[in-house]
Structure 1
Amino acid sequence: MPALKVANLLTSLRGLLIFPMVASILSHSWVLALAVFGLAVSTDLLDGRVARWRHEASPLGGVFDHAVDALFVSTGLGALAFAGTIPWLLPPLIVVAFVQYLLDSSALAGHSLRTSFLGRNNGIGYYVLLGVPVLRDALDLSWPTSSGVLIFSWLLLISTMASISDRLMTFLLSRKARD
């Protein structure tokens, strides 16, 4: 974990919520899942703001934040996939997209992460896809339907594949231009 900073503690808290999120989904403890999800989203909304406000923002902190986001949503969505709510292919694709994003940005060398429009919106979409069925089931709502959630998940899967393809094409074209 990056140096002990308030923002990194918030991110770490989100990381610690991964197991309770997965366990609550798998046990159909929807109210608990909703509480865990709400806390996780709160830490995600706060950690970057706190880092900038306290002048603690760093490329490594950004990597840590995004890595925890990717783990949180991919494992939570993995639990939903296990339950048959979404396609099983989406959670591993999220991990592939994150690793590609990390490598493409040269973040491991200390560079800032470079987001794309599609990648950023996919990241938001992953949280939405995780939260919608949890909220629906915690409040015992009939909407959105399971079909609606499934359609949204397939659209997000296609969008994730498009983002992966776009980054790959950009990488290959930039290598070709250098040669």
Structure 2
Amino acid sequence: MDGPVRWLTLANLFTLLRLGAAPLLALAVWRDATIAAAALFWSAVASDFADGRIARSRGEASSLGGLLDHTTDATFVSLGLFAFAAKGALSFLLPLLIALAFAQYAGDSRALRGRPLRTSLLGRWNGIGYFVLLGMPITRDLLGFTWPSHDLVSALGWILVATTLVSMVDRAHALVGTRRRTAL
């Protein structure tokens, strides 16, 4: 997109609606409002798929729109997983690490200066994993299933803690290496 970046776009509206849904999802999870949690979660997934396609098809894609999208995703999964952690289903470490990993990701990408976000393969898979982990108990409870079990959800949460830490160390190592190369 040429010219000044416009924040008021249809794609960003979808993203902002998802951001507004994040605390509502956390509240629905906390209160065991299964239908509301599922509706909010699956609406967020649909809007996450739609917003980027809408932005590209309308010529409204921008670095700032990408930052808004990724910020919203991190906020949405962090708050939802925090609500599950508050209920004892997951460790509080996971939503905390998601927030810290996102801050590192945005910071070392220089996203606040309008630069595009630089993703890693592991970071991308972690992002998908956070949504999958959040959706598993929500969908399980909506359908009245007993699988995946609480223990399996918790174990997958711990795996994501480990892969998030690996991703953060990898990003820090890459950033230090980049700074060393540019200093030479």
Instruction: Please indicate the TM-score interval, normalised by the length of the shorter structure.
Output: over 0.9
State the alpha-carbon separation in 2 of the partners of residues 139 and 36 from structure 1: 15
- Give the superposed CA RMSD: 0.9
Letter in 2 for 1:172: V
- Partner Cα separation in structure 2 for residue 51 and residue 42 of structure 1: 15
Query: Of 16, 21, 24, which residue of structure 2 is paired with 1:17?
Result: 21
TM-score, length of structure 2 as denominator length: 0.94
Percent identity (aligned): 46
Deviation at 1:140, TM superposition (A): 1.2
Find the residue that maps to 1:174 and give its secondary structure.
helix
Aligned: 1:79 with 2:83: yes
Following the alignment from structure 2 to structure 1, what is the Cα–Cα distance between the partners of residues 123 and 136?
20
Runs of 5+ consecutive residues of structure 1 not aligned to the other structure = none
Paired position in structure 1 for 2:114: 110
Q: Which residue of 2 aligns with 1:157?
A: 161
Equivalences for residues 1-179 of structure 1 within 5 A: 3-177=7-181, 178-179=183-184
- SS of residue matched to 1:33: helix
Question: For residues 103 and 20 of structure 2, what CA distance do their matches in structure 1 show?
Answer: 21
Count of residues paired in the alignment: 178
In the other structure, the counterpart of 2:3 is: none
Please identify, of 168-177 and 21-30, the stretch whose mean Cα deviation from structure 2 is larger: 168-177
Please give the per-residue CA displacement for 1:84-140, whole angstroms capped at 9, x wherever unaligned.
111110001001110111011111111111110000000000000100001111111
Instruction: Quote the Cα distance in structure 1 between the aligned partners of 2:56 and 2:110.
Output: 22
Q: Distance in 1 between matches of 2:169 and 2:90?
A: 22
